[in-house]
Chain A
């Protein structure tokens, strides 16, 4: 628990309410200074929801935030209940205090054609190449090039200027899952090695610099289950080793804590006492045994949850805990979740 103590010490002054799960509150700390927030996590852990809630939190108070998806799933459109996102920035939602969340779904083929146009003024030949299957080759099949195009486009958005100032205060990237994140973020470096000369090589330097700079943080989304936690701890080590800055660990869908220590008497809780209480509540006392068993099993799961939370202590970064919300999650729920993020000024 030493790591926990340290983290609490560092972040104590920005802590918010104790989370419902009753786990130690490590709530704090999304750095405002970061321009690019990369959100990754195990598949099914709630990566996109977290990224969207974070975008709203960052936009609060008048900021303009771009949220980017790169896997062509149109998950943002569904989440914000807007028509499918084209390959262009689109308004998604307003945030309290005059802020705005804008969405972009990056299509690698279009990003490639963009590149050709942007750097070489070659849009026409790009279309010919597209018909020849060359674009398909470059974006789908060439090693890592797809990821290079995606991260390249993200970088372009982060550094985009309009009327002499940044178009976006920050960019949130709904990134590929933890299993692929290191490969995704390092694709540019890999290609710089493959394409040893040429413009791609030069271009990639800028992307590598941004991703490895203090302007970029990677947030890890996890559930308090064994394998997601393992992947999170592994990814945190890998990313740190790879020279990426970690942001926060976001614990999703932690189950709330209802049972007090000692209340279950090590599983031998008194059915008679429970029965008395249920009678007072006007609940069918025939359910006593089943409710007792359910409470014991719930606590067993809470113990697992606590043990997994302890394992996350190996990663000394701020921790944010989000409650489970009944599906479907929409803008209202996202806004509710965004309250859980504390932005360090």
Chain B
């Protein structure tokens, strides 16, 4: 078949990170695709091109810390040492502390103390599904619009939480907003207030059932804790929702660029497809797709996996000698990498065919793991060179 060869649209990384109008870069994608490394490499490259850059990671495994040679990251940006000609700061999201800050900022000290002491809040702030995503948005918003007296960042690079689905990052804040605005939570809040409200009476039949069910399942103690928590949170509902919506709008501005990261594997590329389609659908500024860890066989496509394997087999039938054994090993290695490379190329072509307008960067696999600035710098060069 002689289909016309489509030139893949390329993503110009240096133009993107060097453009003063680019203020936020969000890397997203499924877990294990090199998202954190890509974020760190972009941030380092931007910093070394003279932009005052901060990179925010959310991963509890502290992968960024490891890859940047740092032992500890906390909720405040720390300067990364060893950056040539520029300043790079890195931080890891402390979910609980960020939540505490939000609560403190939106309530009186007495009320905040009440909330902090509530066992339900303690569980919520550390293990609530979606809290991580919400707090990442919150932190991003704080970095993008620093309080008076704090320095501005030229560029903020955000690594999204490792989640089952890359879409969680976009959905979680709205889900939290919906939840806080929901009828059920309002009903829960009501009994803790004196008298209750009229609509509670209207719905009292259903609520009686629900409250009975919830009490049965969770036990009355928990229901009480939840009610008290929700009641004390109620004053902050508006604040929460507004901030979530505000950050969401911030992500839609032209100063933001989303970079979707994938590896050349079916699951990762499927997630990348969902994300790309969603970003386009929501008119979010998509910069492009980075495909990490592509196998690049020696000699490009001059020696196919199949031919290398056949040649190796031919040598295998010969009497052993240094030359025969060495060439056989070299050809087996080549067949392995060439086959992987052929699979990778097929995967990437499939994605490109389905999304012809999405700019792509293919980053070759490195012989060793990246765990220092030198490695990150090399990744940065590869990102820019593709």
Contact = CB atoms under 8 A, between A and B. Distances in A.
B105 interface: no
B162 interface: yes
Interface stretch (B146-154, B319-327, B351-359): B319-327
Nearest to A329: B266
Looking at chain A's contact residues, the main secondary structure is helix
A35 to B, nearest CB: 26
28 contacts: A43-B30, A44-B31, A122-B216, A128-B210, A129-B210, A132-B184, A140-B129, A141-B128, A143-B123, A143-B128, A177-B162, A178-B61, A183-B127, A197-B219, A200-B219, A231-B61, A273-B326, A274-B330, A277-B324, A277-B326, A278-B331, A291-B330, A291-B333, A294-B297, A294-B334, A295-B330, A295-B333, A304-B367
A205 interface: no
Interface in A260-299: 260, 263, 269-270, 273-274, 276-278, 280-284, 287, 290-295, 297-298
A196 B179 contact: no
A273 B63 CA distance: 43
A129 B183 CA distance: 11
A298 B210 contact: no
B332 A258 contact: yes
A341 B344 CA distance: 28
Smallest CB-CB A-B distances: 7 pairs = A44-B32, A43-B31, A277-B327, A198-B219, A143-B123, A290-B298, A277-B323
A73 B271 CA distance: 11
Interface stretch (B6-14, B84-92, B236-244, B335-343): B335-343
Given A125-B209, A294-B333, 14 more contacts: A44-B32, A128-B206, A194-B123, A198-B215, A198-B216, A198-B219, A200-B219, A230-B61, A258-B329, A273-B322, A281-B312, A298-B333, A298-B367, A301-B368
A197 B369 CA distance: 50
Interface stretch (B73-81, B191-199, B220-228, B248-256): B220-228
Contacts of A138: 214, 217
A189 interface: no
A256 B332 CA distance: 10
A190 interface: yes
Contacts of B268: 44
A255 B299 CA distance: 21
Contacts of A142: 226
B217 A284 contact: no
B111 interface: no
Contact of B213 (A125, A140, A258): A125
B53 interface: no
A199 B123 contact: no
Interface of A: 42-45, 71-73, 75, 115-116, 119-120, 122, 125-126, 128-129, 132-134, 136-138, 140-144, 146, 176-179, 183, 187, 190, 194-201, 225-228, 230-231, 234, 255-256, 258-260, 263, 269-270, 273-274, 276-278, 280-284, 287, 290-295, 297-298, 300-301, 304, 324, 326-328
Nearest to A308: B369
A258 B332 CA distance: 7
Nearest to B300: A290
Interface in B133-192: 162, 164-165, 175-176, 179, 182-185, 187
A293 B120 contact: no
A137 B178 CA distance: 10
Interface string B228-239: 000000000000
Interface residues of B, number: 86
A71 B162 CA distance: 13
Contacts of A293: 298
Given A42-B32, A298-B337, A292 B330 contact: yes
B201 interface: no
Contacts of A226: 66, 369, 371
Contact of B209 (A128, A197, A297, A327): A128
Given A134-B210, A179-B61, A225-B369, A283 B218 contact: no
A259 B312 CA distance: 13
A228 to B, nearest CB: 8
A226 B336 CA distance: 22
B85 to A, nearest CB: 28
Given A75-B267, A258-B333, A274 B323 contact: yes
Chain B CB within 10 Å, residue with most, of A129, A258, A324? A258
B318 interface: yes
B190 to A, nearest CB: 13
Contacts of B340: 324
B179 A137 contact: yes
Residue picked from B302, B326, B336, B337, most chain A C-beta under 10 Å: B326
B315 A277 contact: yes
Contact of A294 (B212, B213, B226, B298): B298
Contacts of A146: 129
A283 B164 contact: no
